[in-house]
Structure 1
Amino acid sequence: MASTAEVLVAVKSSPDRFWEAIRGSTELFPKVFPEQYQSIEIVEGDGRSAGTVRLLKYAQGVPLVTFAKEKIEEVDDASKQVSYSLIDGELVSYYKNFKASLKVEPNGDGSQVKWCMEYEKANIEVPDPDLVTETATKTFSALDEYLAKN
C-alpha cells in the first residue's frame, strides 16, 4: 500500500527564479551542495523534458545512499511543476515505488515549494523516509539562501 509525505517550504526567491534553479539543478546542485552531491549526470534525454534520466552520485558521508537514478515523468514549466520517479539506487531496495513531485507557487513576496512523495516500503522493517523529507526541506531552504546571495 502506498504512503505519502509532503513538505511545504516558504522561500524568499520569486517563483520564476526558484523554478529556474530547480530546472538547472543538474549543474547547480553539485556546485551549491558539494557536501551532498558529487555529481549529477544526464544519462538519457535532454535534461529538461519528460523521459530524461539523471544519475545522482552522492558525496561521501551522505547516509544510506551512494547513487540514485531518477526519471522525469512530467514537466510543466508554465505551472512550475515537475514529477519524477526513482528507478535505480540503494533506495530502490527500500521502496518498491518512489515517486516525487515538486511545485513552486507564489507566496506573498516569495514562493512556496510543495514537494510530495509517494512511496511503498519493500517490507515492514523499512523506516519511514524521514531523512528524505528532512533533506528536501534543508535543500530548498539552502538553495533559497544561495539565490539571495547570487
Structure 2
Amino acid sequence: MALYGKLETEVEIKASAEKFHEILHQKLHHISNASSDKIKSCELHEGEWGKVGSILYFTYVHDGKVSVAKDLIEAVDEENNSFTWKVLEGDILEHYKSFRIRVKSIPKDEGSVIHFTLEYEKLHEGIPDSHSLLQLCADISKDIEAYLMGNNNEGSFIAKA
C-alpha cells in the first residue's frame, strides 16, 4: 500500500470563479460567515491575507470534532484562480507526514467549477485516505456558493463585479 496519496473532486457552483477565488484567497477571514457550522475561525498569524508565505490558523469541524490547522500559503496563481495551502501543524498531521490542499476555480458560461486536490503522505499504511476531508471541502464550497449568491441573512461581503 502506498503512503503517498492524492484525492480530487470537482464541485459545480453558480457563483463566478473570480468571486469564489477571492473569498478563499483574499477574504478567508470571512469564511466562518459563509460556513459557520464547518469553519469556526480563520486567523492570520503571519504575513498578509492572500500572500505567498503567509500563515493562517483555522479552527474547523471535521468528522464531528473541532480541529485546528496552521497552514502556509504556498502558491498563488491569480490568472488561473488557484492557490495551494501546506499544512504546517494541526490535527490532520496526527495521521499524515505532509498534507497540501490545492484549489482551482474554473470559469464556466454560467458559474464555475471548483477543483480540489488533496496531496498527502500518510504516517503509516493503516491510515485511510481522507475522503471525509475532501467531502468537507466540497460542502464548504456549497456554503460559499449560497453566501455569494445572496442566500444568507447578512448580505454579500464581496461587491458585485
- TM-score, length basis structure 2: 0.85
Counterparts of 2:135 and 2:59, CA distance in 1? 19
Query: Match of 2:69?
Result: 68
What does the per-residue CA deviation read over 1:85-141, in whole Å, with 9 as the maximum and x for residues that have no partner?
111011111011101111111122111111101111111221210110110111111
Secondary structure at the residue paired with 1:141? helix
Q: Is the 2:38–2:140 contact (alpha carbons within 8 Å) kept by the matching residues of 1?
A: no
Alpha-carbon distance, 1:62 to partner: 5.6
% identical equivalent positions: 23
Confirm or deny: 8 A CA contact 1:65 1:89 kept in the other structure. Answer: no
Report the counterpart of residue 5 of structure 1 in structure 2.
7
Which residue matches 2:143? 142
Q: Partner of 1:84 in structure 2?
A: 85
Give the direction of change, closer, same or farther, for the CA distance of 1:129–1:62 in structure 2 (3 Å limit). closer
Aligned partner of 1:111 in structure 2 is 112
Provide the secondary structure at the position in 2 that maps to 1:41.
strand
For structure 1, which runs of at least 5 residues remain unmatched after alignment?
Answer: none
Secondary structure of the equivalent of 1:42?
A: strand
- The yes-or-no answer on 1:28 pairing with 2:30 is yes
State the distance in 2 between where 1:111 and 1:126 align: 33
User: 1:77 corresponds to which letter in structure 2?
Assistant: E
Contact map agreement 2:27 2:49 (CA 8 A) in 1 = no
Other-structure match for 1:37: 39
Q: Deviations over 1:33-89 (max 9, x none)?
A: 222222211111112111011011235x86355211110101111211101111101
SS for the counterpart of 1:138 is helix
Instruction: Quote the Cα distance in structure 2 between the aligned partners of 1:25 and 1:117.
Output: 22
Instruction: Quote the offset at 1:15 in angstroms.
Output: 1.6
Q: Please give the TM-score of this superposition, normalised by the length of structure 1.
A: 0.91
Structure 2: segments with no counterpart, 5+ residues: 151-155, 157-161
More helix per residue: 1
Alpha-carbon distance in 1 for matches of 2:16, 2:28: 20
Q: Write the distance in 1 (CA, Å) between the matches of 2:68 and 2:77.
A: 26
How far, CA to CA, are the matches of 2:65 and 2:20 in structure 1?
A: 28
Counterpart CA distance in 1 for 2:92 and 2:123 is 10
- Structure-2 separation of matches of 1:22 and 1:92: 22
